[in-house]
Structure 1
Amino acid sequence: MNDRPPSDAGHWRTLDRDLNRISYVEYATMYVSRPLVSLGLAMAFVALAMVAAAILTGGQPGALAIILAAAFGAYLALNIGANDVANNMGPAVGANALSMTGALVIAAVCETAGALLAGADVVGTISSGIVAPEGFADSGVFVTAMLAALLSSAIWLNLATWVGAPVSTTHAVVGGVIGAGIAAAGFGAVQWGVMGKIAASWVISPLCGGIFAAAMLAFLKWRIIYREDKIAAARLWVPVLIGLMAWAFSTYLALKGLKQVVSISLGSATLIGLAIGILSWLGARPLVRRQSQGLENRNRSLKVLFRGPLILSAALMSFAHGANDVSNAVGPLAAIVQAQSSGGAGGAVVVPDWVMIIGALGISVGLLLFGPKLIRMVGDQITKLNAMRAYCVALSAAVTVIAASWLGMPVSSTHIAIGGIFGVGFFREWYVERRARRLKAARPPAEDLAVEERQRRKLVRRSHFLTIVMAWVITVPATAALSALAYLALGALLG
């Protein structure tokens, strides 16, 4: 029998194993608790919105409804930040032009600035352009309908983010307003002409975005990538593309931002954008020439020249998104505040500053807490993006929105951006198949790929494609059904 004590080495090995087990438990605890921290912070933001509404509307008639609307509006803004902003930052992150932290910071700043500086102009449409306010029996019915629209839209966006489907927040809010309007005042309260245009945009938006992005990628391959001297071709064409991007974004931002101080037509905005585009082209020429010095004549070198414009385009898209989509979060909330203040549901909607702040901060907080999941999915799980392909997507989104504004077509920026990503991916698939067919005659029959292997090498993930398309199709009817149920429940609760 051996009564000797264990050696020091054996004792320390046992202690190390025990400490490692404790470390694994700590890591597991941190991994599990991280989502709970985000959830707690989101709930704290909703609570702060309620407190702010209570303080600012204390003693006002219908204060309870306004406080409840502030909570629902904050919840919806959080989900807009979690879902919709991925369309702007996903391509830049997927192309490794931005880190996740950099993308979150830039997007949060630009979204907030866009919402506060240029967002008030589009709020009224959400509350009065889809259903006729005069179709409601009284302001109480209208307020309940807007509460139901806020809640149902937020729930649907939350579900879409959970399953990893980027959907149009505009369509979600539209569906919520329609469902509540039908439940409250019947089918006659809905502006079906507006609804018809929205349904058409389900097809128009992604097709336009995809076709333009694919055309831009084809142009890059033709004029730069497959040229013998790629760097010389890039020196010629990259400044032109930067000028085109500056024109598109300047025109869009002039339309959205300058309306706050002066009435501006699409033609005037286009001329302003053209002037800025020409100046940007002239300024980009020496900059690109300087950046291209010493670069090897390889495709990898071209990514360096596109990284800066891609980051700038992502920031501008976030500013434009904040200006446009803050109305989704605070449009119904602003309508409720006005209805409770004036006792009626009609008239132009005046947006209080505190309502805009809730929407702007909510989008940024939702992005910071829950945005990375959708950003990763959009950036690298649909198709492989590099700086040039991602730039094609960003430029496609800007130009398509401008063209749609000129033609008077309602389009979804979400559908355009995701359509652009699909367009780039499907174009690459077509191009690879075309090259394979050309080489097939020179390849021995034994080297032909099997059908299963060809499917495995597809450059667009079909599972994501089908999930996203189905989510787009059912967004309006699903939120309408949720909103109708929410209207009945809130009606019984508020009595």
Structure 2
Amino acid sequence: MAPALPQYWWILAITTVAFCLSAFGNGANDVANAFATLVAARSLTMAQAGIVSVIAEFFGAVVLGSRVTDTIKNGIIGLDRFRSNPAALLVAMGSAEIASATWLLTATKLGFPVSTTHTIVGALVGAGIGEQSSITWEWKEGSVSQIAASWVISPLMAVSAILFATLKYALLIETPGAPSLEDLGAGVACGIMFGTFFGVLALSHVFFRPYFHRVVILADPRIRPWHLPLGPLLWRENPPLYFPGKETMLVDHYQSAHDKTSTDGNQPSVVDQNTSSTGTGMVASETRTPKQVPEEGNAPGDLEGQSAAANLRPMKRQPEPEERFLGPTDHLPLYHPRRMGSYVVYFLLQGVTRDCVTHSSAHLGAVHSKAPQYDNRIEHLWTYAQVTSAVMMSIAHGSNDVANAVGPWVAVYETYTTGEVGEDNDTPVWILAIAGLLLGLGFWFMGHHIVRALGNKITQLSPTRSYAMELGAAITILLASRLGLPVSTTQTLTGAVVGVSLMNLDLGATNWRQLAFIFLGWVLTLPCVATIAGLLTAMSLNSPRFD
């Protein structure tokens, strides 16, 4: 079928390039929200988070993504002026896509975690003004006034502080000798496990309990997640382990991220695992971490007598990718195969091999030192739930926010093909697949900028804290959507981070400078992206024509 407006093929081509950049920037900025706290808490490395994000975003976009996309996001601008001149819609949507891509990539590079929804809405507002179309300013769903209100509503609604307070006072600082499930009695235990929970708890008892006992209590360095199917065999003194590991999975989540010997974090160093850190690179004068017990032996039979806290695996700080990949071949000519190969490896891996945890700021080190440190064994138990919640958020992002990048392109494509302006347009599955892949690749190559901004730069993070942040943000978004309140995933998660940080009961445990920097990015989003889109639209529609 021939397109109805073939003379405007160049607008479709430019919009397609802008769409790819917009989806890439969307992934670099918004996808990082789901994984920033995960990486900062040392639950996953950047490379692991990158692999998970590519899979989760692609799955969410293709399998759960909407097959119908609104032509005009939330009815921000009217369509009446475009019905008699469909070509003007091509220009407006193309300009909005270009403006969105430009701002998302710029904000990501600067470390501004911004809302992609607000970005595309701001671009549409600017395009509407440039085309002299009507703009929805009054208070209604998706209006500009609601977006401005969400700067305050989203962070304040985050319920993460309540969640972390529950974890803190019920689990983390629980007094020794608290009754366990076995001490509650058969009647209470049966009541708890009754119904749908019975099967889940049975599986946990058979498989997960011996696994975690060996990982957390015995600190057996040989155990890995693929040993879960062994179940009861893990209770043996010498279980039949296939592909055993060489070091414990227990990570020191509170290992100092402050490196005062390097200003750029390029020099690799390892913090002594037998010292307690205050977060400033100095040895603590008071013990807030579990007491360490000398090892009694390395044989499996001696594992019961070892302290898991004394066998924490320190996180080694790797060199930055420039030094790691390009440094070894710097002396070779540019045309040398090894040096050319090092540039290829650097290009592919530089985004997921950067150190997003280490910092050289004395101020940030002081902020971290005011956050209490809890037992790393308990923290490790929450890494599994934390990873699961992050994956769910990533899938949800791929299914919902993919429309922010796809919407304008679909409007241009449908108008170019049919010559008519429609309220809703069918979204081809193949474009959802491309968008989903670009979302994941955006995080892979540029997500480290936002991971640094939303991670340890605000407060000291750990698995329990990060889990409360992610779950609290998810609950807030669901509740707000049900109530019709304007919220942003980025802003809600930022509010969740602040809420959990305040549970340290010390205002000094929050980096207010970084929060001010992030808030500045929120405020700049609408005017900046609207200006870009408006100028592009106005110049395109009013430029001289040579027919």
TM-score, normalisation: structure 1: 0.69
Q: Is the Cα contact below 8 Å between 2:97 and 2:405 reproduced in 1?
A: yes
**1:357 corresponds to:** 433
Shift of 1:146: 0.8
Shift of 1:82: 1.2
Residue type at the aligned position of 1:317: M
Note closer, same or farther for the CA distance 1:68–1:230 as it changes in structure 2 (3 Å cut).
farther
Note closer, same or farther for the CA distance 1:347–1:163 as it changes in structure 2 (3 Å cut).
closer
Q: Is the Cα contact below 8 Å between 2:15 and 2:94 reproduced in 1?
A: yes
Q: Is the Cα contact below 8 Å between 1:181 and 1:190 reproduced in 2?
A: no
**1:120 corresponds to:** 66
Q: How does 1:217-296 map to 2 (within 5 A)?
A: 217-229=164-176, 289-293=209-213, 295=216
Report the Cα distance in structure 2 between the residues aligned to 1:231 and 1:151, rounded to whole angstroms: 59
Q: Is the Cα contact below 8 Å between 2:26 and 2:104 reproduced in 1?
A: yes
**1:486 corresponds to:** 536
Note closer, same or farther for the CA distance 1:188–1:375 as it changes in structure 2 (3 Å cut).
closer
For 1:198, which of 121, 138, 147 is the aligned residue? 147
Q: How does 1:284-323 map to 2 (within 5 A)?
A: 289-293=209-213, 295=216, 299-323=375-399
Matched, 1:346 2:422: yes
Structure 1 residues 481-490 or 388-397, which shifts more? 481-490
Q: Secondary structure at the match of 2:151?
A: helix
Report the Cα distance in structure 2 between the residues aligned to 1:104 and 1:58, rounded to whole angstroms: 41
Shift of 1:117: 1.2
Note closer, same or farther for the CA distance 1:336–1:217 as it changes in structure 2 (3 Å cut).
same
Q: How does 1:199-218 map to 2 (within 5 A)?
A: 199-209=148-158, 212-218=159-165
Q: Is the Cα contact below 8 Å between 2:71 and 2:422 reproduced in 1?
A: no
Note closer, same or farther for the CA distance 1:360–1:292 as it changes in structure 2 (3 Å cut).
closer
Q: Is the Cα contact below 8 Å between 2:73 and 2:121 reproduced in 1?
A: no
Shift of 1:426: 2.6
Structure 1 residues 336-345 or 190-199, which shifts more? 190-199
1:135-175, Cα deviation, whole Å (9 max, x unpaired): 33521111111111111111111221121110001100000
**1:4 corresponds to:** none
**1:108 corresponds to:** 54
For 2:42, which of 96, 101, 105 is the aligned residue? 96
**2:92 corresponds to:** 145
Higher normalized helix content (fraction of residues): 1
**2:119 corresponds to:** 172
Report the Cα distance in structure 2 between the residues aligned to 1:235 and 1:426, rounded to whole angstroms: 35
Q: Secondary structure at the match of 1:167?
A: coil
Report the Cα distance in structure 2 between the residues aligned to 1:68 and 1:119, rounded to whole angstroms: 24
Q: Secondary structure at the match of 1:374?
A: helix
Structure 1 residues 227-236 or 342-351, which shifts more? 227-236
Report the Cα distance in structure 1 between the residues aligned to 2:467 and 2:54, rounded to whole angstroms: 21
Q: Is the Cα contact below 8 Å between 1:69 and 1:333 reproduced in 2?
A: yes
**2:511 corresponds to:** 461
**2:106 corresponds to:** 159
Note closer, same or farther for the CA distance 1:276–1:482 as it changes in structure 2 (3 Å cut).
farther
Residue type at the aligned position of 1:371: G
Residue type at the aligned position of 1:343: G
Shift of 1:303: 1.1
Shift of 1:313: 1.1
Q: Secondary structure at the match of 2:426?
A: coil
Note closer, same or farther for the CA distance 1:484–1:223 as it changes in structure 2 (3 Å cut).
same
**1:242 corresponds to:** none
Matched, 1:378 2:454: yes
Report the Cα distance in structure 1 between the residues aligned to 2:70 and 2:164, rounded to whole angstroms: 38
Report the Cα distance in structure 1 between the residues aligned to 2:202 and 2:544, rounded to whole angstroms: 61
| Structure 1 unaligned blocks of 5 or more | 1-54, 237-274, 434-457
Q: Is the Cα contact below 8 Å between 1:333 and 1:355 reproduced in 2?
A: no
Shift of 1:186: 3.5
Report the Cα distance in structure 1 between the residues aligned to 2:197 and 2:487, rounded to whole angstroms: 24
Q: Is the Cα contact below 8 Å between 1:224 and 1:233 reproduced in 2?
A: no
Report the Cα distance in structure 2 between the residues aligned to 1:309 and 1:487, rounded to whole angstroms: 47
Residue type at the aligned position of 1:74: C
1:364-409, Cα deviation, whole Å (9 max, x unpaired): 2221111122223322222111000000011012111211122122
Report the Cα distance in structure 1 between the residues aligned to 2:102 and 2:136, rounded to whole angstroms: 24
Shift of 1:235: 10
Matched, 1:85 2:31: yes
1:439-488, Cα deviation, whole Å (9 max, x unpaired): xxxxxxxxxxxxxxxxxxx2222221101111112211221122111212
How many positions carry a matched residue from both structures? 375
Residue type at the aligned position of 2:170: R
Note closer, same or farther for the CA distance 1:125–1:67 as it changes in structure 2 (3 Å cut).
closer
Report the Cα distance in structure 2 between the residues aligned to 1:291 and 1:126, rounded to whole angstroms: 52
Residue type at the aligned position of 1:218: A
Note closer, same or farther for the CA distance 1:127–1:220 as it changes in structure 2 (3 Å cut).
closer
**2:20 corresponds to:** 74
Shift of 1:187: 3.9
Bigger RCO (CA 8 Å, 6+ sep): 2
Structure 1 residues 346-355 or 63-72, which shifts more? 346-355
Shift of 1:427: 2.5
Note closer, same or farther for the CA distance 1:126–1:386 as it changes in structure 2 (3 Å cut).
farther
Note closer, same or farther for the CA distance 1:353–1:471 as it changes in structure 2 (3 Å cut).
same
**1:471 corresponds to:** 521
Report the Cα distance in structure 2 between the residues aligned to 1:85 and 1:133, rounded to whole angstroms: 31
TM-score, normalisation: structure 2: 0.63
Residue type at the aligned position of 1:483: A
Report the Cα distance in structure 2 between the residues aligned to 1:185 and 1:276, rounded to whole angstroms: 58
Q: Is the Cα contact below 8 Å between 2:70 and 2:425 reproduced in 1?
A: yes
Residue type at the aligned position of 1:383: T
Q: Secondary structure at the match of 1:349?
A: strand
Q: Is the Cα contact below 8 Å between 1:152 and 1:483 reproduced in 2?
A: yes
Shift of 1:116: 1.0
**2:369 corresponds to:** none
Residue type at the aligned position of 1:486: L
Q: Secondary structure at the match of 1:227?
A: coil
